[in-house]
Amino acid sequence: MRTFLALLAALAQAPTFSSRVDAVRVDVLVTDNGKPVPGLTRADFEILDNGVLQQVDVVSFDQVPLNVVLAFDMSSSVEGDRRERLLGGADQLLAGLKRNDQAALVTFSHVVNRGTKLTGDLAAVKEALARAEGIGDTALVDGIFAGIMVGESDVGRGLLIVFSDGLDTSSWLAPASVLDAARRSGVVAYAVSVKSRVRPAFLEELTSLTGGRLFEVERTQNLDAIFLAVLEEFRHRYLVSYTPRGVSRAGWHQLDVRVKNRRATVKARPGYLAAF
């Protein structure tokens, strides 16, 4: 408990996504028949904030460095082959990062530990992961909250990649409060969950709220391919920025992001929760 509370205190100063920030940034994936659509500009996008058409200020594509946070379940069920596959998948993912990208590690069992802060020293992230051992229960909700806060702790595009082989058994935080933090955050969450008899409702809602995706797997043999697919998909997302006009400066803002004059599938967060 002390380890987790100390981590929360250290991360409480991390900035959150709110209406006090002039620009709203939205990560947007645009595909046609499952393939990313390149070459779009701000003239191609249309954004409605609570039904009010906004002026798109900036659209960038694969230009802003990534902040990749690995939030990994290290409970007692993650050991042996499962742990080795998780480490192997993480190694492949880290090898796919570019020069100015950063990575961080959060591990969770019955306690939450920040293995590393966001850093360009990927060897340090690997070393921290190699030291992590499977022990105890699963504080999934607490671990995800810590991952969100780490992802918001520096400039860049926040990508949270969660792995868990089970449901939450020991978190202190309420799922609803962590989902509210996700609504305020600009971090996009992807999750990999090992299938069980119980639906991973919390991970489903988390990934939906942030515009990410949930992968449910029977086995962990292909974690490296899944992690690399997540990274590749995230790199093909556009970062669309606008300054809200004609809408309230507080509360829930529903977003509707469209691409004009062409057939395409658009995936983005459904909205954001702004502060007073």
Q: What is the pLDDT of residues 210-238, one digit of tens each?
A: 999 999 998 888 999 999 999 999 999 99
Coil, helix or strand at residue 195: coil
Q: CATH homologous superfamily of domain 2-14+64-235?
A: von Willebrand factor, type A domain (3.40.50.410)
Quick one: average pLDDT of 65-84?
92
- Given a cut of 50, whether residue 13 has pLDDT beyond it is no
Phi, psi of 87 (to 5 degrees): -65, -40
Bridge partner residues of 273 (DSSP): 252
- pLDDT tens-digit readout, 55-67: 999 999 888 999 9
Q: Which position has the token pair 């671990």?
A: 143
144 neighbors 158 (Cβ within 8 angstroms): no
Residue among 101, 35, 22, 17 nearest 273 (CA): 17
- pLDDT confidence tier of residue 265, bands split at 50, 70 and 90: very high
> Residue 106 pLDDT more than 60?
yes
Average pLDDT, the chain: 90
* pLDDT exceeds 80 at position 12: no
Q: How many CA atoms lie within 13 A of 184 on its CB side?
A: 23
Q: How do the domains of the chain map onto residue ranges?
A: 2-14+64-235, 24-62+237-274
Strands 238-242 and 56-61 turn out to be antiparallel
Where are the strands (E) in the chain, listed by range? 24-32, 35-36, 45-49, 52-54, 56-61, 66-73, 102-108, 112-119, 157-164, 188-194, 213-217, 238-242, 251-259, 265-267, 271-274
Q: What is the pLDDT of residue 133?
A: 84
Q: Are 124 and 103 in contact (CB under 8 A)?
A: no
Q: How far apart are CA 237 and CA 138, in angstroms?
A: 32
15, two tokens: 């900035």
- Per-residue pLDDT, averaged over 187-209, amounts to 95
pLDDT score at 17: 45
